[in-house]
Every structure is written in C-alpha cells, then in structure tokens.
Chain A
C-alpha cells in the first residue's frame, strides 16, 4: 500500500510524469473521484431534460418545429383522451400500491415469524423470483395465461366447472385493468416484503420482552410495538412502489398494449404512442412534463410530511 511512495521512483521522464499526475489527482481528490460521475449525469441526464423542456414548448410539424410555448399544454389540457390516461394511471398506480403493499405486509409479518434462518432464506429466495423476472416477460406471461382460448386460467376455470366457456379477460376493460394491476403488483410484492421484513427485524427484542412483562396481548404488542417501528419501512416501500407504478410502462404495454380501446392506456403508454410512434415530440414532451411534475410534487409532499412525522415519533 504505502511502499509505492517510499520506493525509489526512477528519475525518468515517465516516472516524473506519473508522479506529477498522481499528485494532481490526489490534490483534487473530490474531482478525481466524483467528477466522472457528475459529468456523465450532466451529459446523459441534464442534457435530455433540457431537450424535454425545449420540445414541450415547441410545436412539432413533421420534421420541423416551431416555437409555440402554450400550444402543446393547451392541447393536452383540453384533450379528453389525456384525462382518460390520467384516470387510468391513477387507477393503475393506486391499485398496484394497495395490492402490493397489503400482500407485502402479510408476507413480511409471516417471514418474520419463521425462526429457522435457512427456511426463511428459502422462502425469501422463492418470493424474490417474481421481482427478478424482466417486466416485459411478466406482461407476455400474464397475457398468455389469460388468453381467451388457450389460456391456462380459462382452462382451469372450465375444468373446475366455474366457467362454461373461455372468457376473454383482456377484451373487457374492467378485467383488463384488474389484470394489469395484479400483474404489476405481482412483480412489486417482493420488494415491499423485503423492505418491511428489514424493518421488522430492526425492532429490538427487548421491546417485545417488555410488552410481555407488561402483560400485553398479541394485538396490543402488534399495535404498540410492531406498527410504530414498521411505519418508516412501510412508507418508504409504499412511496417507491407507487412512484414506479405511476410511471410504469413495460407491464401495461406488454400485457394489453393499452387496449381494449384505450381502457388500459396509462400515461407512459400515451407518451410512448405520441412521442415514438406518431413522432409528435412536442406533445409527448408536454405530457412527460406533466407526469414528471405530478411525481415530483407528490413525492416531495410525501417525503416532507410523512417521513418528518415519523422521525418526530422516533425521537
């Protein structure tokens, strides 16, 4: 480690240059280590964001653009299909949030009760599988399982005598939406469960012992010990799951593609349709700006109010 400096460096031009460079890097250690990451983020984040803002104020006319700052936003706010996409996005993100958080909570509480570590790890590994599956694969798999003629779900329901013939789940707006919500939750449950399990495991055993000495019932222990300690993990996992579902593209796109007749066209698909398929960069950028603004506003309100309250309780 240290010998490089004490070892005699040959007084060649190369040796001297090397030492000079090394001294320069060490004298500006922050720039040396942080600079590359920041420059990368400037190039691959700030520049595209600037392009996004710029595009949103321009009207796209084929391959040329015209500066017209309100055109896209006006078109967006007066377009009923946009508001329909907003509504679908809210249904989708909150549906996924409730389902994944509820299932994740139950799984985390159950996992926390498994005493043998090997067994708990086995369960965790199996449950993590759905998190690891590429989202587009989740979509095509669910699409295939709920296929009207050949899907295994219909097949099972018919064989069990519940349905008389196959049902086209993806052709009905209501079941199509329910389906993508479940598919989305399916891939988010493990994350919620793992984060909340970590929260549960950080509760000191003394708290439980104390509750026991005080003669608290299981429910009282759960309410007064488990819940307060679990709250931060619950809210952090919840925010992340909601935020990712709000901007979700891969699962709705690969399961229903926005259909039937736009019934599952969430904002991400809407943006993709206008921006990539119809080449209306300006309008797609304006919708993107809306999505970004909503995410950031809700996330910052959430972080400042809820997480601050939690730290007050914890202190």
Chain B
C-alpha cells in the first residue's frame, strides 16, 4: 500500500508543467475566458438596447436611465413586430415541413434496401454539401418567375432545401440505433408496416425527433442568405434581415438596432437555454458515421 503510494507520488512529481496545465484553476480560467468572449458582445448589445440614442453618442458604458424607447422605435415605429411574426410563421412552417418529409425518409434509409439505395442516400448528403450560395441566383430567378419573391412561401421553400438533407441524415442515424426486432415484433402483433413506423418505432425515437425539430427551428430562425435575397419588404421579411437593414440607413440609430438585435437573438438564446441537451445531441448525432 505504502509502496504504491510512493509510486504515485513520484509519478505525480514527474508531471510538473502538465499538472499545472490541467489544474482546476487553469481549466476554469480557460472556460471563464471563453464564456466572456462569447457573451461580451451579447451583453454589450443588451446594455445598448436600454439606452437612448443620445446616451450612445455620449459614450456611456451603462445605461444611466434605462429605457425601453429603443424597443418602441424598432418594433412599433419601424414596424419590426411584423418581421417577428414573419419569423415565427416561417420558422414554424419550415420546421413542420422539414420534419414531416425528413423523418419518414430517414426511417426508410435505416430499414429498407432498394435499388440504388446508397446512391440515393449519397445524393441526399450531396445536397447538403452543395454550397447554398451557388443556388441563390437560380432561386432568385425561379422565385421571380413563380411570383414568390417577397412571400413567406418563398423563404419556407428555401429552408426546406437547406435543412431537409440534414434532418434525413440525423433521423437516419437515430433510427439505426433502434433494433429492427422492434419493427418485426410489431408486425408479428399485426401492425401494418406504416403502423409499425408510426406507433412503435417513432415514439422510441422521439428524443432524436426533438433534436431535429429544435435544430431546424433554430437554423430557419437565423437563416439570412435566402431570406435576404427572396424578400425585401416588411410583409415577408424575417427579423435577422430587418435588423441588418437598419445598418443600411444613412444615420444608424444604434440603440434601436441593438434592440432589434436583442429581439432577434432572444428566441434562439431561450431555445439554447432550455434545450441545450437536445442541441448537443442533434449536432453530434448528425455527425455519427
């Protein structure tokens, strides 16, 4: 016993530098700095949003007389409440469409063999690898011809293209973890194939479904490229686009812009706060090979 202990002691002494690097102090210092780096811009945005524009020009760090004036200007006077409504409608519709199309597709890829199945699956992954910026110009033209410029439908369609392949991939990876015996047992009990999927396998994969839903909602909420290209007026514009357009003004009302930015960030921040676990599962589950 004592011999082993001396062995451990000398083993520890040998480490010197590496011990210091791995000490709780260093670990927490690193994480503290990381958290500071991540949150500082957000805290600054939040502080600015409670200032008046005059306070911004006076270069005060903290709002002396906190006010909601900037929120009033951004949301009511500039009409950004409509952008929020658009964002909610577009993100919800995109998520419903993507999950409804992607979940069954992921199930098929996890269960059934069919001619060219690997090729079809590779095609789905390929659409994800394909840079969306390459499709912006064709989309703009097609949407123009279809009369979908400046409509919410146009943005939802773009979101389905962007996130459907991702969800198919994530859901397939979740379905693979569920043994096929479960389907077979359901079939023996008299379920049809569809019933086996709907009533037996799907409930088991609900955590994965939740992860996919949350990821798709967040990604649709923050999508900028297509939302910006397809829509340029407030009737269909999303909140990230509306906030960006503040910057294009000749004289920027920074405090109001900060208020709009805070409003655009709050839903994502809340989702991260409450569903952190699902997001981590979704981000890493989508990568398992």
Residues on A lying within 8 angstroms of B by beta carbon are: 1-2, 4-6, 22, 25-26, 29-30, 32-34, 36-38, 40-41, 44-45, 47-49, 51-52, 55, 103, 106-107, 110-111, 113-114, 121, 123-145, 147, 150, 152, 155, 186, 189-191, 194-195, 198, 212, 215, 217-219, 222, 233, 236-237, 243, 246-247, 249-250, 254, 267-268, 271-272, 275-276, 281, 284-285, 288-289, 291-292, 295-296, 299
**Is B68 an interface residue when CB atoms closer than 8 A count as contact?**
no
Chain B residues with Cβ below 8 Å from A135 are 222, 224, 240
Not counting A130-B41, A137-B243, a sample of 20 additional A-B residue pairs whose C-beta atoms are within 8 angstroms of each other reads: A41-B161, A114-B27, A114-B31, A126-B35, A129-B38, A132-B265, A133-B265, A136-B240, A140-B247, A144-B254, A186-B38, A191-B283, A195-B283, A236-B287, A254-B244, A268-B133, A275-B137, A295-B129, A295-B130, A296-B130
Contact partner, B243, options A1, A114, A140, Cβ 8 Å: A140
Chain B residues with Cβ below 8 Å from A132 are 218, 222, 265, 268-269, 271-272
In terms of DSSP, what is the predominant structure of the interface of chain B? helix
Known A-B contacts A126-B35, A249-B225; the reply to A40 vs B160 at CB < 8 A is yes
Known A-B contacts A2-B191, A5-B192, A133-B265; the reply to A37 vs B104 at CB < 8 A is yes
A189 to B200, CA, bound (A): 38
A94 to B225, CA, bound (A): 21
B24-45 vs A, CB cutoff 8 Å, 1 = contact: the mask equals: 1011101100110111011011
Chain B residues with Cβ below 8 Å from A217 are 14-15, 18
Chain B residues with Cβ below 8 Å from A29 are 108, 112, 193-194
* Residue among B132, B186, B283 facing the most chain A CB atoms (10 A cut-off): B283
Interface size on B, residues (CB 8 A): 105
Chain B residues with Cβ below 8 Å from A267 are 133
Chain B residues with Cβ below 8 Å from A136 are 224, 228, 240-241, 243-244
B171-207 vs A, CB cutoff 8 Å, 1 = contact: the mask equals: 0000000000000001001111111010110000000
* Residue among B114, B132, B222 facing the most chain A CB atoms (10 A cut-off): B222
Residues from 31 to 73 in B contacting A, C-beta threshold 8 Å: 31, 34-35, 37-39, 41-42, 44-45, 48, 56-57, 59, 61
